Amino acid sequence: MSEKGELDNSGFNKLNWFTRIGYGLGDCAQNLIYQVVAGYCAFFYSDVYIVGNNTKESSSIAGTIMTTARIIDVIWDPFVGAFVDKHNPRLGKYRTYLLFCGLPLTIEVVLSTQAVTYVLLQMLYTCVNVPYGALNASLTRDTHEITMLTSIRMVCANIGGFFVWTLIPIFLGLAAGKAIPWGFVFFQFVGSIPGILFMPFVPAVKKVVGKKNMFYLFGTIAIIGNIMIYIVSKSGVNSGDNTWMRIANFVKSTGFTIITGYMWAIVPEVISYAEYTTGRRIAGIVNALTGMFYKLGNALGGIIPLYGLRILGYIAGEEEPSSLTKEPKAWFTVMSIYNIVGLVLLLICFFASKERIAMEEKETKNVKVTDLFTEFVRNGPLRIIALYFVTAFTCMTTQNTINSYLFGMSNQKSGTQEGIRWLASLIPAIFNVLMIVIIFFYSLTDEKIDEINREIERRQKTSNAEEA
């Protein structure tokens, strides 16, 4: 393959490394910009900002703010998807939005300390995330290339996750001039390793064990890791010796990273299936649908821990050596730096990723918001993936949110501590079981997808020949 990559008139393009890595950096950027807020916003609202000035009610108030914003965002997704599919900007059908919505998003993040600005943040993120997801399916039809692209994307995403989940506590401590919560840092560090270390090997693993078996295998590993976290945490995560907790988190993350990372490679398959059955490559619509259920999962993942903490009697504002700093200026400083770096990476993604496969101009005229619901009804594989996304992101957001409390709960009541352990381990394990059950019903094999893509190309060649 040449360094410039190989363009195939049939759409089965071979991508060069600049495109693969550049596209992946777009996901890294979104982690640095958005996940900082999505992952820590619950903790920020309940313990740093203390919404409502009520330490007993702040977690439930935060839950209400975040849930309201995400419900509005779920409604917003179909309109963004339809708009993206209907228009063809001069700089690229999908990548244009990385440029023109990326800057407002980075500005909005540092203003998201109030309910209204948090809603706007969610809406702006959709304007970046939906076209970014659609861009994946516009680069190539080749299933191996898509697997490679997704693996590299997930490595970049997990590098971004490493900076969010592992390094932010360090930077916050330095910015605030306070003690760094090393127990929490090392726990998050070992959870970040699998995504960076193992994702490059996913194409080879999938080739050996098959797509579904890969989900079953790593889903089981995630379940084992979560059970280990619960058992070990019962001995006291604030004891200073958390080696077994780190091992447990490594096992859990090894499984969970694969089953949530590779699911993005299935989205282009569902887009091809939609094109095969309808004649239109509605990538924006399909990604808006997956985005809706991804956001719904995030909403549920915010409701479960925050309202759970309220029920458990959690008292906010208790400063402990093992918890994150609660100094507002430190949070503002660190978030601002992350946003600037994220914006630069979005620009690299813009220049590296150029659409090769997209709807023709004549097809975009008939795109409507209602196409989203029509496609959901008639596209069986899409419904399976939507349910998988809801479950996966409910699990992920619940666990990421509650981990901020897991290492700062020694002053809480014993019943509250036990509830936090369940939210951090056993409840995610139940979600992992559901994910395995859901993927069992996914019907599109690699062979079927290759057959579908070749039939699509055959139809297009026939149509072009008739027009000529």
Q: What is the pLDDT of residues 406-437, one digit of tens each?
A: 877 777 888 888 999 999 999 999 999 999 99
Q: List the single range of 77-81, 104-108, 210-214, 359-363 with lowest mean pLDDT.
A: 359-363
**For the chain, percent of residues with pLDDT exceeding 90:** 28
pLDDT of residue 431: 97
Q: Minimal CA–CA distance to 43: which of 415, 410, 431, 407?
A: 407
Helices 446-467, 143-161: crossing angle, 10 deg rounding: 120
Q: Is the pLDDT of residue 52 over 90?
A: no
- 8 A C-beta contact, residue 38 and residue 298: yes
Q: Is the pLDDT of residue 115 over 60?
A: no
Average the pLDDT over 51-68 and give the result: 70
Alpha helices in 355-445 (DSSP H): 361-364, 370-378, 380-406, 414-421, 427-439
Give a three-class secondary structure readout of 320-337.
CCCCCCCCHHHHHHHHHH
pLDDT of residue 259: 94
CA distances in angstroms from 317 to 65, 206, 324, 411, listed in the order given = 19, 46, 11, 11
What are phi and psi for residue 34, nearest 5 degrees? -95, -40
DSSP H or E run through 168 = helix 168-176
pLDDT of residue 1: 37
Q: List the single range of 73-77, 123-127, 257-261 with lowest mean pLDDT.
A: 73-77
pLDDT of residue 322: 47
The Cα 386–Cα 277 span in angstroms is 18
- 8 A C-beta contact, residue 318 and residue 412: yes
Q: Is the pLDDT of residue 251 over 70?
A: yes
Q: Is the pLDDT of residue 6 over 70?
A: no
pLDDT of residue 316: 66
Q: Is the pLDDT of residue 317 over 80?
A: no
Q: What is the pLDDT of residues 380-397, one digit of tens each?
A: 999 999 999 999 999 998
pLDDT of residue 4: 43
The Cα 114–Cα 85 span in angstroms is 32
Tokens standing for residue 352: 């590296």
Confidence band (pLDDT; 50, 70, 90) for 78? Answer: confident
The Cα 41–Cα 82 span in angstroms is 29
pLDDT of residue 9: 47
The Cα 275–Cα 283 span in angstroms is 9
Tokens standing for residue 226: 């979560």
C-alpha of 189 from chain center = 18
Q: What is the pLDDT of residues 267-303, one digit of tens each?
A: 889 988 988 888 877 777 787 788 788 888 887 887 8
Q: Is the pLDDT of residue 371 over 70?
A: yes
Mean pLDDT of the chain: 83
Q: Is the pLDDT of residue 366 over 70?
A: no
Tokens standing for residue 16: 């060069």
pLDDT of residue 240: 44
Confidence band (pLDDT; 50, 70, 90) for 10? Answer: low
Q: Is the pLDDT of residue 27 over 90?
A: yes
Confidence band (pLDDT; 50, 70, 90) for 136? Answer: confident
pLDDT of residue 287: 76
Q: Is the pLDDT of residue 222 over 60?
A: yes
Average the pLDDT over 168-188 and give the result: 86
Average the pLDDT over 80-104 and give the result: 87
The Cα 93–Cα 76 span in angstroms is 19
Q: List the single range of 45-49, 155-159, 168-172 with lowest mean pLDDT.
A: 45-49
The Cα 432–Cα 42 span in angstroms is 23
pLDDT of residue 343: 92
149 or 431: whose pLDDT is higher?
431
CA distances in angstroms from 147 to 14, 151, 370, 446, listed in the order given = 12, 6, 31, 11
CA distances in angstroms from 353 to 90, 140, 358, 361, listed in the order given = 14, 11, 13, 20
Q: Minimal CA–CA distance to 412: which of 46, 41, 38, 39?
A: 46
